[in-house]
């Protein structure tokens, strides 16, 4: 079954059009292939549901795609150890100092030599697309990895006019106001005692509070001194527990047992039907959650 752990949320421009047949043909031109000996990273499309053929899986207006990423792991400590041996050998044999430029050249040579021996690590990066809602969600935790996936998707499809949901949202002041005045929080939201604060006058100051009552004097003191919520854990409709941060990113997703049980009841015995059942429920919930997030935090109408 498939349940996202993180959601990097993007909005698609009104000009974006998606044709499943055309997209399938385009993705076929960018299938995954293992890292070559001197290749650090390899990206490519694989079937959205394991052990099937289609690269795109559809459930209603929701589409699931999967980018496989393989990288060669070359620990910096190993590179530095071999580099130090080469530098020492030059200093002893040639009785001279190795400059920074030459050291960098030697380091590049070491990496080139060691790369074919490096271990391989593969990950599956799922992408959820709803063209009707103009919504794109990438199941990765980091901004860097999300940018990598969307850039590869853009190269594959020829166009992907998206922007981060955060460009139309300003969660920090709204989340802060919910803590200052709990009655202003939406009925479907239960704030949980796991949050991080920062101060606008010094963003380097981070205050992490966990297992502390939200009505506590300590928290209210930080808020009275101008602290803003950078991220907070919450429960939405008693169906999803997650952390929402100041970038409108959704992390540490956990779907309620009633949803996972529903997916099990809807699915058959084969992996394909289990993937489909969980994706159908998950996609429906995420669309609703993102629509609420847009409503809560939106600062202007999307262009």
250 assigned to some structural domain: yes
131: confidence class by pLDDT, cuts 50, 70, 90: very high
43 assigned to some structural domain: no
Q: How far apart are CA 34 and CA 119, in angstroms?
A: 12
Helix, strand or coil, per DSSP, at residue 186:
coil
277 assigned to some structural domain: yes
Same domain, 205 and 267: yes
5 assigned to some structural domain: no
Six token digits for residue 19: 């044709």
Same domain, 109 and 179: no
240: confidence class by pLDDT, cuts 50, 70, 90: very high
Q: Compute φ and ψ for 5, nearest 5 degrees.
A: -100, -25
Same domain, 292 and 172: yes
Same domain, 204 and 281: yes
Structure confidence by residue, pLDDT tens digits, 19-45: 999 999 999 999 999 998 888 899 999
Collect all residues with Cβ–Cβ distance below 8 Å to 34 and sequence separation of at least 6. Answer: 42, 70, 120
Same domain, 178 and 110: no
70: confidence class by pLDDT, cuts 50, 70, 90: very high
Tell whether the model's pLDDT for residue 300 goes beyond 50. no
213 assigned to some structural domain: yes
299: confidence class by pLDDT, cuts 50, 70, 90: low
159 assigned to some structural domain: no
Structure confidence by residue, pLDDT tens digits, 252-281: 999 999 999 999 998 878 888 989 999 999
Cα atoms found within 13 Å of the Cα of residue 138, Cβ hemisphere only: 26
Mean pLDDT of 192-215: 86
Same domain, 271 and 196: yes
Q: State CA 156 to chain mean position distance.
A: 19
148 assigned to some structural domain: no
What's the domain count of the chain? Answer: 2
The secondary structure of 15-44 as a DSSP string is T----HHHHHHHHHTTB--PPPTT-SEEEE
Enclosing domain of residue 260: 167-297
66 assigned to some structural domain: no
Same domain, 271 and 210: yes
Same domain, 104 and 200: no
**pTM (2 d.p.):** 0.85
279 exposure class (CB count in 10 Å sphere: 0-12, 13-18, 19+): buried
Same domain, 273 and 183: yes
């Amino acid at each position: 079954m498939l349940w996202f752990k993180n959601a990097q949320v993007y909005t698609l421009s009104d000009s974006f059009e998606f044709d499943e047949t055309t997209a399938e043909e385009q993705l076929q031109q960018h299938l995954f292939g293992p890292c070559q000996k001197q290749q650090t990273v390899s990206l490519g499309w694989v079937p959205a549901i394991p052990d099937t053929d289609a690269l795109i899986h559809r459930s209603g207006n929701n589409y699931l795609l999967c980018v496989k990423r393989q990288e060669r792991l070359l620990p910096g400590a190993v590179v530095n150890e071999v580099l130090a041996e080469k530098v020492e050998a030059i200093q002893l044999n040639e009785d001279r100092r190795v400059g920074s430029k030459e050291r960098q050249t030697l380091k590049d040579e070491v990496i080139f030599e060691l790369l074919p021996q490096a271990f391989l690590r593969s990950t599956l990066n799922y992408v959820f697309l709803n063209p009707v809602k103009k919504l794109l969600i990438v199941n990765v935790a980091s901004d860097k990895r999300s940018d990598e996936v969307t850039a590869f998707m853009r190269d594959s499809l020829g166009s992907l006019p998206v922007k981060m949901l955060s460009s139309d949202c300003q969660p920090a002041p709204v989340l802060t106001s919910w803590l200052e005045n709990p009655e202003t929080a939406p009925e479907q939201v239960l704030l949980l005692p796991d949050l991080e604060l920062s101060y606008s006058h010094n963003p380097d100051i981070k205050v992490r509070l966990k297992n502390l009552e939200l009505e506590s004097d300590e928290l209210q003191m930080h808020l009275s001194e101008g602290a803003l919520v950078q991220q907070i854990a919450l429960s939405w409709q008693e169906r999803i527990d997650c952390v929402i941060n100041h970038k409108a990113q959704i992390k540490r997703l956990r779907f309620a047992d009633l949803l996972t049980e529903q997916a099990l009841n809807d699915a058959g015995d084969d992996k394909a039907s289990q993937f489909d059942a969980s994706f159908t429920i998950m996609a429906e919930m995420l669309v609703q959650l993102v629509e609420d997030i847009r409503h809560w935090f939106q600062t202007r109408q999307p262009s």
